[in-house]
Amino acid sequence: MDRDDWSGVTDPAERRKRQNRQRQRLAPPGERKRTAAFAKLTSSPTLPLMFPLSPDHCLLTMVQYNVQRASLFNMAVLSLLEHLPLECGGTLNLPSLNIDPPSCVPPELLPTALQMATPHDYWIDIFPCPAMRDNLIRLYKQFDAHDLQRDLAKSLYEGFVDGEQRGCMVWGEPWTVNGWEVSRGFVRKWGFLLKGCSDLVASTNRWRESRGEHPLVIEV
């Protein structure tokens, strides 16, 4: 009797087992290898996910989503969403973000004298730290703006990379500097943009302290 003959077998589990064996035997060699590899992968023991997660855990999607949502929120407050390329609006699914900006521009997003006097890229305006906005404008030709943007948002588009390690995090209201935090990697790479940003440094260290982490020493 064919051990894979499932006719007359009433037990559902045994029928599926015999049907699978028969399909594997009749499948092309390449397909059999892929099936075996998948079976080995799915039968491997799953490691338990332990909580609380360590601070450097790859929760990059959520962290970077928060940064993106905060940026879009501030763009909405400043009426800058029209500057977004059409493909970005589709990728980020803007209608699902439920952005309902306040009726007036919050004080920390009001333009500085330098902003009003100097032509600059629109994305600079979204940071709720006036001193940092001025630094970005003043030092614009001394750094790679695309590199900075990649560090701030790369993991949302490129998978679990190390964008969070050189970017920002947003834990509170996006229009106030007290909701923002810069990472240690951001300080190492982009620390020159933090000159005069004592409020952003103070906010960063408050969030770090809330997680039991040591404060960052940043010369401002």
42 and 64 co-located in one domain: no
Q: What is the mean pLDDT of residues 44-50?
A: 39
Report which of 207, 185, 206, 171 is spatially closest to residue 69, judged by C-alpha positions: 171
97 and 203 co-located in one domain: yes
Residue 145 lies in a domain: yes
Share of the chain above pLDDT 70, in %: 56
Residue 55 lies in a domain: no
Q: 166 or 85, which is more confident?
A: 166
Q: What is the mean pLDDT of residues 46-59?
A: 40
Residue 158 lies in a domain: yes
Residue 127 lies in a domain: yes
111 and 150 co-located in one domain: yes
**Distance (Å, rounded) from C-alpha 125 to C-alpha 59?**
27
Please state the domain count of the chain: 2
Residue 220 lies in a domain: no
pLDDT at residue 99 tops 90 = no
125 and 26 co-located in one domain: no
Pick the range with the lowest mean pLDDT from 23-27, 29-33, 110-114, 130-134.
Answer: 29-33
Residue 52 lies in a domain: no
One-character DSSP codes across 28-79: -HHHHHHHHHHHHHHHSPPPPPPSSPPTTSS-HHHHHHHHHHHHHHHHHHTT
Sign of CA dihedral 127, 113, 194, 83: positive
**Distance (Å, rounded) from C-alpha 202 to C-alpha 180?**
10
**Domain range enclosing 96:** 60-210
Amino acid 195: pLDDT: 96
Q: 204 or 26, which is more confident?
A: 204
139 and 183 co-located in one domain: yes
Q: What is the mean pLDDT of residues 95-120?
A: 82
Task: Round the average pLDDT of the chain to a whole number and report it.
Answer: 73
97 and 66 co-located in one domain: yes
